[in-house]
Chains A and B, each alone.
Chain A
Amino acid sequence: MVQSLGYLKETPSQTAGPYVHIGCTPNFADITGVYPSDLGSSMVNERTLGDRITVTGRVIDGAGSPLKDALVEVWQADASGLYNSPAEMRGTADPNFTGWGRCASDGQTGVYSFETIKPGRAPFRDGRKMAPHITFWIVARGINIGLHTRMYFPEEVEANAADPLLMRIEHRHRVLTMVATREGSVYNFDIHLQGEKETVFLDI
Chain B
Amino acid sequence: MTDFSNRKPETGAFFPRDRGWHAPGLTPGYKTSVLRSPQKALLSLDGTISEITGPVFGHSMLGELDNDLIHNFAKSGESAIGERIIVHGRVLDERARPVPGALLEFWQANAGGRYRHKKESYLAPLDPNFGGCGRTITDENGFYSFRTIKPGPYPWPNGVNDWRPAHIHFSVFGHGFAQRLITQMYFEGDPMIWKCPIVATIPDRAAIEQLIAPLDWANTIPMDARAYKFDIVLRGRRSTLFENRMEGN
Point out the residue from A12, A21, A133, A169 that lies within 8 Å of B207, measured CB to CB: A12
User: If A14-B198, A144-B22 touch, does A87 touch B47 (CB 8 Å cutoff)?
Assistant: no
Contact A14 B211 (CB under 8 A): yes
Q: Residues 41-63 of chain B: 1 if any A CB is under 8 Å from the residue's CB, otherwise 0?
A: 01111111111111111000001
Does A47 touch B at the CB level, under 8 Å? no
* Centre residue among B106, B107, B115 by max chain A CB count within 10 A: B107
Give the contacts of B99-156 with A (CB-CB under 8 A): 105-107, 115-120, 131-135
Report if A72 contacts B (CB, 8 A).
Answer: no
Taking a contact as CB atoms under 8 Å apart, the answer to whether A87 and B233 are in contact is no
Provided the pairs A61-B35, A85-B53, A142-B35 are in contact, do residues A26 and B131 lie with their beta carbons within 8 angstroms?
Answer: yes
Within 8 Å CB of B48, what residues of A?
122-125, 130, 165, 204
- Whether B1 is near chain A, meaning CB under 8 Å from some CB there, is yes
Known: A9-B210, A100-B55, A125-B48. 15 other contacts (CB 8 A): A7-B94, A7-B95, A11-B234, A15-B182, A20-B169, A30-B118, A61-B35, A76-B50, A86-B175, A144-B23, A168-B43, A201-B38, A202-B45, A203-B42, A204-B46
A125: contacting residue among B17, B46, B183, B198, CB under 8 A? B46
Residues facing A in B189-244 (CB within 8 A) are 198-199, 201-202, 206-208, 210-211, 232-236, 244
> How far apart sit A76 and B22, CA to CA, in the bound complex (Å)?
26
CB contact under 8 A between A204 and B45, given known A11-B210, A143-B33: yes
Contacts of A144 in B (CB 8 A): 22-25, 27, 30, 33, 37, 201
Contact count band on B: 35 or more
Q: Complex formed: what's the CA distance from A33 to B76 in Å?
A: 13
Asked whether, in the complex, the Cβ of B45 is within 8 Å of the Cβ of A143, the reply is no
